[in-house]
Chain A
Amino acid sequence: MIQTHHLTKRYGDATVVDDLSFTVPNGSITGFLGPNGAGKSTTMRMILGLDRPSDGVALVDGEKFADLPAPSRTVGAMLESGSRQPRLTACAYLAWQARAARLPKSRIDEVLEQTGLGEAARKQVRDFSLGMRQRLGIASALLGDPTHLILDEPINGLDPQGVMWARSLFKELANEGRTVFISSHLLSEMETVADRIIVIGRGRLIVESTMADLHQHARSSHTVAVSPEPDELVRLLERSDASVERDSTDDSGRTLIIRNFSAAQVGEIVVGSGLPLHHLAQVQTTLEQAFMDLTAGALEYEGTEHDPMLASVATTARTGG
């Protein structure tokens, strides 16, 4: 199990990770999501002891990473794809790690085969494609046959076949009881593979939830109605206790969003009034949209000032998920 307690990282006045507490349980695949610059890599680096927390602590099985008796057998880490000496061969790259971590030599060939790099073992890393480098990173993480895996954007740069392979590998590893913690900035990457997700934005926790809870949240829908007489329509609907708001993206003000009535209910109300209606539709929130909503206030380069909202799913997850 990986846990962070009030983990905080400040660089001067900038707080990159802000009071972050979460748990990554054993035997699960936990997606670590957030927009670029949200603080995912910094958090992972603090778990691995590469960056020192300004406050708080990160623990693996109750211990700091550096205090683990056999770190490589407990945590396999894949960091940025560039963090490899380009002139080493794949074999040499794994050989020094195996030697330093006191692992059997046989593991080198095993993980090279497991990651499909058997034939590229003698090639220099600088001749590798991005996808091959990612596979080598995964091979490196698997070298110690660890109980926990921390993988920073492992799917980046993989071709579709590679993505399928990686997903099935992660599932297999989790089924064996390992803790798999994967960062990504794309929900679509995690949607089919993760059991749980942790979403952060601007270094703060937005959601810690099971994937099932997030799907539940995404299943919510609303009704969109467009009328040339929106004021009349609002009055009519509000008389029927509808929760109506104007769509802020429509400058004409003709588009209304009704949260608590279905399209059929809105149609039945309007049909007797004689009000013109140009468009009426039931809109289903997609999982991607739910994620975008959750992280809307946490984009690194967004200029508007508002805190990441704590959506209802976060509350649900913390109490029940």
Chain B
Amino acid sequence: MATADPIQTASARPRLRDCLEGEIVKILSAKSTGLTIALSIGVAVFVTVLITVFNDGSADPLSLSLIGPFLGTWLLVVLASNVVATEYSTGMIQQSLAVTPRRGRLVTSKLLFVAAISLLSGLVLSFLCYAVGQLILSGTDRPSIGLGDVSTIRAVTVTGVFTLVYPLIAASLAFVTRHATGAVLLTLLIAFFPMVMAELGSSVWADIAVRLAPGGPMESLTGQAQPGTVGYMETGTTVGVTIGWLSLFIAAAFASQLRRDE
């Protein structure tokens, strides 16, 4: 039987790292996790192939390869929402908190997992789609672009890294809504509402919406928005906007989890 030996207890005290490892085991044990990631990669590659094959050669070869990863991101958004919301729909949150009663630690672990899996999947998505797209272009004697160019590496890498933004927002919203569908729909709304309004609204609104929406910094960071264009922002500002949005949603997740009953 366990005793209250202080030395043994100190060495057995669970840490954030243990909680994170527990979450990794829990989430990766569910077959749906691997399936969703595979589906995300499959959709991204399939879309890239379609767009590249049917393109008449007039589009920028790099831009062609970055559309697929953006679509693949939305399956990662579904995964991120499920990672959190399944806890509530199955009642598993009770057992999770019985094992890790420090709620902040559990929220941190889940968000770290979502960030890590999205980052990793995002990088795989963007480099794979880039490779497939350029392979098709060069194979059909159309202009392609190599990775030797620093701006190309930057665009592909940033696209991959930026993939974690929407899944993190979705996971945070899932802590607030405790519902996967709700979290996904809200994330879609947050992503697309500013763009739709930018198309329909005034030029001032369009200017603000495009620049300051959570997805706004991506074009500037990848180098696709150039100085002087509507969506362009300095690197410092883009990083600030991205961190600002993420902080807001993550703070909402913590506030929700720390205050409510299970």
Contact = CB atoms under 8 A, between A and B. Distances in A.
Interface of A: 45, 48-52, 61, 65-66, 68-75, 77, 79-80, 82-89, 92, 95-103, 140, 144-147, 176-178
Contact of B14 (A65, A70, A87): A70
Interface stretch (B64-72, B85-93, B124-132, B188-196): B85-93
Most buried by A among B100, B101, B103: B101
Given A71-B101, A87-B30, A99 B2 contact: no
B12 A70 contact: yes
Contacts of A147: 1-4
Interface of B: 1-4, 9-10, 12-15, 18-19, 21-26, 29-32, 86, 90-103, 261-262
Contacts of A70: 9, 12-14
26 contacts: A45-B261, A48-B97, A51-B261, A66-B103, A69-B9, A70-B9, A70-B14, A72-B98, A73-B2, A74-B2, A75-B98, A79-B98, A83-B91, A83-B93, A84-B91, A87-B30, A88-B26, A92-B29, A100-B22, A101-B22, A101-B99, A145-B1, A146-B2, A147-B3, A147-B4, A178-B1
A50 B92 contact: no
The 3 A-B pairs with the shortest beta carbon distances in the complex, nearest first, are A100-B22, A83-B91, A96-B26
Contact of B25 (A52, A92, A144): A92
Contacts, number: 129
Main secondary structure of the interface of A (DSSP, over half): loop
A98 B92 CA distance: 15
Nearest to A61: B4
A301 B9 CA distance: 46
Main secondary structure on B side of the interface with A: helix
Nearest to B90: A85
B15 to A, nearest CB: 7
B21 to A, nearest CB: 5
A52 B261 contact: yes
Contacts of A89: 29
B102 A66 contact: yes
B156 to A, nearest CB: 34
Nearest to A98: B22
B1 A177 contact: yes
B14 A100 contact: yes
B94 A50 contact: yes
Contacts of B4: 61, 74, 147
The interface centre, meaning the residue of B13, B15, B98 with most chain A CB atoms within 10 A of its CB, is B98
A144 B2 contact: yes
B91 A80 contact: yes
A98 B101 CA distance: 14
Nearest to B101: A66
A65 B1 CA distance: 19
A88 B86 CA distance: 12
B101 A92 contact: no
A178 B15 CA distance: 25
Residue with the highest number of chain B CB atoms closer than 10 Å, among A79, A99, A176: A99
Nearest to A145: B2
Contacts of B21: 99-100
Contacts of A85: 26, 30, 86, 90, 92
Contact of B95 (A61, A79, A146): A79
A234 to B, nearest CB: 55
Nearest to B32: A87
Contact of B94 (A52, A73, A83, A102): A83
A45 B18 contact: no
A70 B30 CA distance: 27
A67 B92 CA distance: 21
Contacts of A71: 14, 98-101
B260 to A, nearest CB: 9
A95 B99 CA distance: 12
Contacts of B31: 87
